[in-house]
A and B are shown apart, each in its own frame.
Chain A
């Protein structure tokens, strides 16, 4: 990537303390030293099973929680160090689309009130035509029919369109989409994804696309970052991740996702991981994946692998990624 990244996350760590002052439960490490960049106009997908810290990263980027350590640099400035006014200005270019289209719109406001909010905050008084434009852009035409309604009068897909319209109100540069289609049914999901892609082409917005649905990720993302237990295990271009996954966890994840071809689905070799995800408050020593890894060696429980570039743009955190590859999973 030659252009400056729109977002850089630098060794981000987030630890949640549980219980009170005298609690003996160890703190939960939701995110442990994660770094990545997103280029303008790019979609980076963050995948992993539930509890691996993907959503926490989204929340930290959105400034909804403070990181324990590390930095988030958005559009050249660290949001945590900016003064309040500049931060507000920068923050408008950073928006979010949420998972639950029934929870992300205030149930007591009309669509007009919801969509005019960003403009009113930005001090734009003549927002009425812009609100109508936004509705048109997200495919809700004629917009006059929708502006006076309340959120509960819409279907999930329509609500998600309204949420997208709100996110796009103030020319965002990056949108954090946290599981934004997983609550929708399949046909609506495709429409929403198409809409998001079209908007990306028109506005050059970047997406941080947090998802556990590999099929959706494959169709949306330019690059994919795979997380396990708060750590990034592999990051690379979407074709490389899907066609030549280098980390055994990525391979297992891919083998678990269904292929829409019954013939291949039946003959596909499956890697079945044993056991549960270890507790993030007591992560295993060494490589965090070694307790479930099919190719674990003694070294894995002793030394933690670092994320090293296998090829120029495809770093992997595994001591034996060559071995994993040589094993030739399909």
Chain B
């Protein structure tokens, strides 16, 4: 066999590479979820590349309320600023807030959920009661309160949304850990004498990832919505245009300049819908009971 004289490093690479090649096929995209994934990728590329071409989004032009045209693809606003440039910047800040907030809540949620599910007993009870405490507080109003107290810098908005989202992730992680810790390969790892850390991160967590990935996509979409809501009420970071802020600015000119509201609105709609559709699709694909012919 030719495999026999392959050096281990190279073959390890082959394993990794083979896995990478297998992933797109494993996603089993249908037209709808494929379109959702395409929208997401396109939106991400747009959000992180387009703003590089605009010098200053807050620069005022001499033409207010110009309708969409060749000069300004999405028109201009009341101060003569280019809506398209602000839309691109808004995409970047909305997506960053969404992703970073989801990242924050995932880190907190996964660590606390893993500790709770793995240790069980008193630790579990205490952590879950705390998570319930967070779950019963209406998220939006707590966010309002935090921003009213600490100010509306982008970092605070990200942290606030992230800190409010962790209980969901924690509960899913805990549930996964509760079942996975009883698996035989985990017992075998105990028998071999693996440390608790290596059992949690090496044996259990990788197998708990599928539902967590789904939860994370949902976290991103709800964070985007929450940020848009906050900005719409004028509680966003005024120096960074976001879709929510643009909607806030647009509301008083709704009858006069529809383009100021429609484009950021569409941006939110498309992104959130694509995230939810793709998340739902991931739930189906990653569900082991529905995963045919593994």
Contact = CB atoms under 8 A, between A and B. Distances in A.
A117 interface: yes
Interface in A94-145: 94-96, 98-100, 103-108, 110, 112, 117-118, 121-122, 128, 142, 144-145
A113 B156 CA distance: 42
Contact of A91 (B8, B187, B193): B193
The 10 tightest CB contacts between A and B, nearest first, are A104-B184, A98-B184, A103-B184, A106-B185, A118-B192, A144-B4, A108-B206, A88-B193, A121-B193, A148-B11
23 contacts: A62-B191, A63-B190, A64-B187, A92-B192, A92-B193, A94-B191, A96-B191, A98-B184, A100-B184, A104-B188, A106-B185, A106-B207, A117-B189, A117-B194, A118-B193, A121-B193, A128-B8, A142-B4, A144-B1, A145-B1, A152-B294, A163-B188, A170-B192
Contacts of A290: none
Contact of A148 (B14, B187, B207): B14
A103 B180 CA distance: 10
Contacts of A167: 191
* B contacts with A: majority SS: helix
Contacts of A63: 190
Interface of A: 62-64, 88, 91-92, 94-96, 98-100, 103-108, 110, 112, 117-118, 121-122, 128, 142, 144-145, 147-148, 152, 163, 166-167, 169-170
Interface in B29-60: none
B185 A104 contact: yes
B1, B12, B189, B191: most-surrounded residue (chain A CB, <10 A) = B191
Contacts of A107: 207
A145 B3 contact: yes
B258 to A, nearest CB: 51
B256 interface: no
Contacts of B14: 148
A104 B192 CA distance: 13
B183 interface: yes
A121 B12 CA distance: 21
A96 to B, nearest CB: 5
Interface string B148-180: 000000000000000000000000000000000
Interface residues of B, number: 26
Nearest to A169: B192
B15 interface: yes
Interface string B1-32: 10110101001101100000000000000000
Contacts of A145: 1, 3-4
A311 to B, nearest CB: 36
Given A98-B187, A170-B192, 11 more contacts: A62-B190, A95-B192, A99-B184, A104-B184, A106-B189, A118-B193, A121-B192, A121-B193, A144-B1, A145-B4, A148-B3
Contacts of A117: 189, 192, 194
Contacts of B3: 144-145, 148
B207 A98 contact: no
Nearest to B192: A118
A152 B187 CA distance: 19
A94 B190 CA distance: 11
B184 A142 contact: no
Contacts of A166: 188, 192
B11, B188, B294: most-surrounded residue (chain A CB, <10 A) = B188
